[in-house]
Amino acid sequence: MSDETEKLKSGSVVMDADEMRRAWTRVAHEILERNKGVEGLAVIGILRRGAPLAQRLADAIERIEGKPVPVGQLDISLYRDDFRTYQPRVGTTQIPFDIEGKTLVLVDEVVYTGRTVRAALGALVDLGRPSVTQLAVLIDRGHRELPIRPDYVGKNIPTSRQEFVKVFMTEMDGEDKVVIAKDA
């Protein structure tokens, strides 16, 4: 069993599958309300767990509006400010549409320091110029180190820096839940 799995065993569940589904459906409605529908809208998930969340968001938007929304996934590994010491690539950028002029919703499961989102914005600059970029996260756990604030939040979870938040997703982890645990 990995160290992370061991630590998570002592953690507590702060969102179950139903809560995740409801929160994400609400976020889909908020996106449609703010942007007045799907015209020009596209969704891009930050790898890894942002990708299945972005797909779920696009599916929810299509269920509500009856129109498809382009979905992509973004690997930000090479744009991280700690890329010299951080782990290698976590996946492949796949964006099968032109982001130029789009209303782009970036998706991630957790925002913490904001450094991942900063890297994602840097990666997007190399791909084109959306007319607007917005940020949707399932969990905002606070402790930002950069001036970044999500436009849509599934749940705000106040944390200490000694904790960590792990989002489990059926697509990757076999179940949906959010766990908070001590990171020590």
Ligand X SMILES: O=P(O)(O)OC[C@H]1O[C@H](OP(=O)(O)OP(=O)(O)O)[C@H](O)[C@@H]1O
Ligand Y SMILES: O=c1cc[nH]c(=O)[nH]1
Q: Which of 110, 117, 119, 169 binds ligand Y (CB under 6 A)?
A: 110
Residue with tokens 């382009």: 70
Single residue of 24, 112, 152, 168 touching ligand Y by CB under 6 A: 112
Residue 151, exposed/middle/buried by CB under 10 A (0-12, 13-18, 19+)? middle
Select 112 or 152, whichever has its Cβ closest to ligand Y: 112
Q: State in angstroms the smallest separation of the CB of 28 from ligand Y.
A: 22
Selected binder of ligand Y within 46, 137, 165, 178 (CB under 6 A): 165
Cα angle: 143, vertex 117, 114; to 5 degrees = 10
164 binds, among ligand Y, ligand X, none (CB under 5 to 8 A by kind): ligand Y
- Interface segment toward ligand X; rule CB under 6 A; list 27-35, 43-51, 53-61, 62-70: 43-51
* Residues 6 or more apart in contact with residue 160 via CB below 8 angstroms: none
> Residue ranges of the alpha helices (H) in the chain?
3-9, 17-35, 50-65, 115-125, 170-173
Q: Which residue of 38, 52, 95, 112 would you call a contact of ligand X, by CB under 6 A?
A: 112
- Cβ at position 87, least distance to ligand X in Å: 8
Q: Which helix (H) or strand (E) holds 69?
A: none
Binding positions for ligand X, rule: CB under 6 A = 46, 48-49, 90, 108-116
